[in-house]
């Protein structure tokens, strides 16, 4: 199973080789992998920023605990959740579904109403948590795709979301930075290369009932 080999190959890269860049061809493959991610109801209520601009990344580094991956990696992926699941967003999804699958829109409106009703049942705190969780599903696809392409990545929560929101103008777009992932190629001097993975044993992690 190639996936298991790829997962054993990957690790949270701490030091990137600044001289190596991810090609446009591979970058497009990563975008497609993220695009194909699962999400609740299929809504994909998030946006992914791919930061290339060195000046912007220099601004983001101090609010990312000064971690070198922010500026040294080839690209910086910022996964942002929308701060609300608006009725308009759900209507747009239902319309897109009808057009993509050549279905009668009227037949799908009931499903759209069902989604709206379920989301209205959530408290503001529950809805915020739900919206943030969607970005992690997309992050998982990015990490797996990177591993298959032998591109290194480092998922990170060590940053200040409010500062990211301000620097990247996310508040005005109804977005919130949830999780980030620098990608590129490991530096030969990265001290974490080759470290054995530390994972809970299967007998502690799984239970068959």
pLDDT at 113: 98
pLDDT at 149: 98
Provide the whole-model pTM. 0.97
Work out the average pLDDT over 77-105: 97
Is residue 209 very low, low, confident or very high in pLDDT (cuts 50, 70, 90)?
very high
Walk me through the domains of the chain, giving residue ranges and CATH numbers.
2-205 (3.40.109.10)
Average pLDDT for the chain = 97
**Adjacent-strand bridge partners of 175:** 82
pLDDT at 160: 98
pLDDT at 89: 97
- Which residue from 193, 133, 205 is spatially nearest to 12, judged by alpha carbons? 193
pLDDT digits (tens, 9 = 90+) for 80-89: 999 999 999 9
pLDDT at 101: 97
pLDDT at 166: 98
Work out the average pLDDT over 49-68: 98
Is residue 155 very low, low, confident or very high in pLDDT (cuts 50, 70, 90)?
very high
pLDDT digits (tens, 9 = 90+) for 10-50: 999 999 999 999 999 999 999 999 999 999 999 999 999 99
């Amino acid at each position: 199973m190639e996936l298991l080999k790829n997962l054993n190959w990957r690790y949270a890269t701490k030091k990137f080789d600044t001289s190596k860049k991810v090609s446009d061809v591979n970058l497009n493959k990563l975008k497609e992998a993220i695009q194909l991610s699962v999400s609740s109801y299929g809504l994909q209520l998030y946006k992914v920023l791919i930061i290339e601009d060195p000046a912007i990344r220099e601004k983001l580094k101090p609010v990312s605990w000064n971690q070198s991956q922010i500026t040294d990696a080839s690209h910086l992926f910022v996964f942002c959740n929308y701060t609300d699941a608006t009725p308009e967003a759900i209507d747009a999804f239902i319309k897109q579904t009808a057009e993509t699958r050549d279905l009668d829109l009227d037949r799908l409106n009931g499903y759209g109403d069902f989604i709206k009703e379920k989301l209205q049942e959530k408290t503001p705190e529950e809805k915020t948590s739900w919206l943030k969780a969607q970005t992690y599903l997309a992050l998982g696809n990015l990490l797996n795709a990177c591993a298959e392409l032998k591109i290194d990545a480092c998922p990170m929560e060590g940053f200040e979301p409010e500062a990211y929101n301000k620097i990247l103008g996310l508040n005005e777009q109804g977005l919130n930075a949830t999780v980030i992932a620098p990608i590129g190629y490991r530096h030969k001097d990265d001290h974490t290369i080759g470290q054995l993975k530390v994972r809970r044993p299967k007998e502690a992690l799984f239970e068959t009932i």
